[in-house]
């Protein structure tokens, strides 16, 4: 085999490996997905207290054992939900810079007994809440964008 042929076939092998490594779940969010997420968050932000209460009701309906993990009055939980949502929005523009903070937050969550299955449950409850809150404007593309974002955060936190 000539060197040129050898090089070109090994390059295409590398391309194939890179292609396989970038599965849809690991692909970075596109600018359009980030826009859809920001736009939808802007719509629910004025009613964030209500959205948080709907979210917790759904989360506890999906897994009542989680209720015990959230101590303190609902107002405190609502503020923490808001903080979590704001942090999630910030990750859209400052991905790498936030990694150490997210890792630390992940440690805190692990200490609280939060495991990967709980993140999946949270994602399910949040997607359901967004669907209920945004109705028609929660399009298939917006849902896919939020799902991708929550998958990404779960991989860092869990
Ligand atoms: C997108 C993923 C998440 C983000 C960004 C996030 C963010 C946060 C933040 C900022 C806090 C406050 C930190 C503190 O009090 O030290 C917090 C606390 C907490 N989070 Fe999360 N969280 C996420 C997912 C989850 C999930 C999936 C669960 C469980 C279902 C969970 C359960 C808790 C609990 C139990 C607390 C403490 C509440 C308390 O003090 O009573 N979090 N989270």
Residue 33, pLDDT above cutoff 60: yes
CA nearest ligand 1 atom 27, residue: 119
Residue 85 Cα: closest atom of ligand 1: 5
pTM (predicted TM-score): 0.84
Domains of the chain: residue spans and CATH: 29-157 (1.10.490.10)
Distance 29 CA to ligand 1 centre (A): 23
Confidence of residue 95 (pLDDT cuts 50, 70, 90): confident
Residue 12: predicted pLDDT: 44
Distance 28 CA to ligand 1 centre (A): 24
Residue 42: predicted pLDDT: 98
Confidence of residue 13 (pLDDT cuts 50, 70, 90): very low
What is the dihedral angle through the alpha carbons of 89, 156, 69, 44, rounded to the nearest 10 degrees? Answer: 20
């Amino acid at each position: 085999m000539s060197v040129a042929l050898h090089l070109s076939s090994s390059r295409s092998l590398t391309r194939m490996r890179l292609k396989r490594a970038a599965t849809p779940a690991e692909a970075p969010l596109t600018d359009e997905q980030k826009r859809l997420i920001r736009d939808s968050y802007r719509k629910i932000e004025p009613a964030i207290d209500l959205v948080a209460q709907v979210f917790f009701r759904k989360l506890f309906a999906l897994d009542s054992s989680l209720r015990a993990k959230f101590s303190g009055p609902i107002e405190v939980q609502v503020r923490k939900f808001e903080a979590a949502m704001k942090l999630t929005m910030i990750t859209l523009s400052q991905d790498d810079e936030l990694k150490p903070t997210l890792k630390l937050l992940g440690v805190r969550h692990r200490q609280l007994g939060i495991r990967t299955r709980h993140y999946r449950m949270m994602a399910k409850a949040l997607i359901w809440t967004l669907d209920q809150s945004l109705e028609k404007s929660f399009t298939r593309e917006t849902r896919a964008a939020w799902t991708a974002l929550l998958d990404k955060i779960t991989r860092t936190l869990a």
